[in-house]
A and B are shown apart, each in its own frame.
Chain A
Amino acid sequence: MSRRDFLQCAATTVSAASLPLAVAPVFTPTPVPTAAPVPAPFAEPVTVVLVVNGKRHELGLEPRVTLLDALRETLGLTGTKKGCDHGQCGACTVLVDGRRINACLTLAIMHEGEAITTVEGLARDGRLAPLQAAFIESDAFQCGYCTPGQLCSATALLAEFRAGDASAVSADVRQPQPVATEAEIRERMSGNLCRCGAYPNIVAAVRTVATAR
């Protein structure tokens, strides 16, 4: 009997949704053995194919390498910044298949074959993206460390507005199209911190581009 035959889980649960609910077993507080820490194995580097800014790279990476470290240390794309390395500051924000994520909280190996865009990939043919131009125009940075993350994050924000996505400050999530108000932009950019406090100008830059469309 194969493992697949042995396991009886449905591949999808939709069809089974109307079945009566099983009663979950009552938890009995039996002591959980606290196992001695298992020594970490040594996992050899494996081949990982990353597609970054349209270019395919075949890399040898240990599974534990984060996407952020692969971009910066292995590929030398140091535009993406390491701030907190814990998903709190947003300096490492990149786009994966057009969606913004924190590159520090994910493994490079989890993104094989996906289209990764870093700040280096936002300009086209030597011309700044409208958001990049707006950041300069609005003086939306001081030290610049958070800027690559802000730019990638705001790029996705524009796409989310176009898609009609709601946010925590949208008046009614049942209404299809939110408006790019200052409150909406601030809420949607809350995953990107700026230690220089350039927030008013960042909001202005994002709003200029968001309302120009």
Chain B
Amino acid sequence: MQSFFYDRATHANQAVGLAQQPDSRFIAGGTNLLDLMKNDVMHASRLIDLNRAGLEAIAATADGGLSLGALARNSDTANHPLVRQRYPLLSQALLAGASAQVRNMATNGGNLMQRTRCYYFTDPAFTRCNKRVPGSGCAAMEGINRIHAILGASAACIATHPSDLCVALAALDAVVVVCGPQGERRIPIQEFHRLPGDQPQVDTVLAPGELITAILLGPSPFAEHSHYLKVRDRASYAFALVSVAVGLALAGGVVYQAAVALGGVAAKPWRIPGAEAPLLGQRPGTREFDRRAAAVAETLLAGARPFKGNQFKIPLAHRSIVRALQLAGRSPGGAA
């Protein structure tokens, strides 16, 4: 790892001020950043440590929602009583990610900022990667692309965003609170990550020096019926090939609100506004509900474009969506 200077921030505003120094980066858990710095994939002349910046609070909000501090650890978030009771989908997604050790280090803000696990990005032995070296090409396009995107990719990049948490946040319509030199702004989670387009090196809409301070959740009607389904090569400690976050709100056994988000298929959590509409008024456990679930899958996967190694992801995603909807409809709290 190359040498760098180190600053410790004790307040969000101070951290943003320190980040105005050239070639500086924030470090929170460090589980992804240090890994990539060791591999010479990412660099910084100065790291600004956020771990004592006082951003770890998880607290109920006045509107009945929840504010998740950007520096709250994944483990603390997943096991917070209010998260487990009101947002079991979020707990499930967090616990499906990484290992216990990593979850004790990794933070909520850092989870949003993590980079793709595309092999051609994480290993500089590969010379072509537009995300790492803009203009160098994309080796994944013609290479091993089993784990890559089927939606929203571009001619420049077919990488996926690896997060589980973000998929659940997309289903819950979370809002990211950001602090920068110009003050605070709020970004809906669906607008936080970018599709690659012709600038795959830019993962998010954050401006240089902007800092995530919190993630806001509104009151959720999905506590009784939600499910996070993660399909992967190993049963534990592996990234998703496909994941689905589902929330259903039922009254009298009938769906009146639904949210479905897909992970492992694009550079951002995948949602289509209104895709869940066929489920409204339906009763989980019926043949008609399953038929409507398949229609939701069709809508979400419309325009999917596979590559040589990941054609399997289209039927896998389709079946995963249907299965996650069935499980959410069946099981209080998302029990499998």
Contact = CB atoms under 8 A, between A and B. Distances in A.
Given A3-B13, A9-B213, A173-B91, A156 B100 contact: yes
Interface residues of A, number: 72
B34 A43 contact: no
Interface stretch (B45-53, B246-254, B296-304, B318-326): B45-53
A105 interface: yes
A191 B102 contact: yes
B35 to A, nearest CB: 5
A29 B198 contact: yes
Contacts of B177: 13
User: Per DSSP, are chain A's interface residues mostly helix, strand or loop, or mixed?
Assistant: loop
A143 interface: no
Closest A-B pairs by Cβ, 7 of them: A191-B99, A9-B179, A63-B6, A8-B183, A190-B236, A17-B61, A40-B2
15 contacts: A11-B11, A12-B57, A13-B67, A27-B194, A34-B201, A37-B43, A38-B43, A90-B99, A100-B100, A109-B6, A168-B96, A171-B335, A173-B84, A187-B236, A188-B100
Interface string A59-84: 00011101000000000000000000
Contacts of B63: 17-18
Interface string A179-190: 000000011111
B101 A40 contact: no
Interface size classification for chain B? 35 or more
Nearest to B39: A86
Interface in A144-182: 153, 156-157, 160, 163-168, 170-175
Contacts of A22: 185-186
A116 to B, nearest CB: 13
B329 interface: no
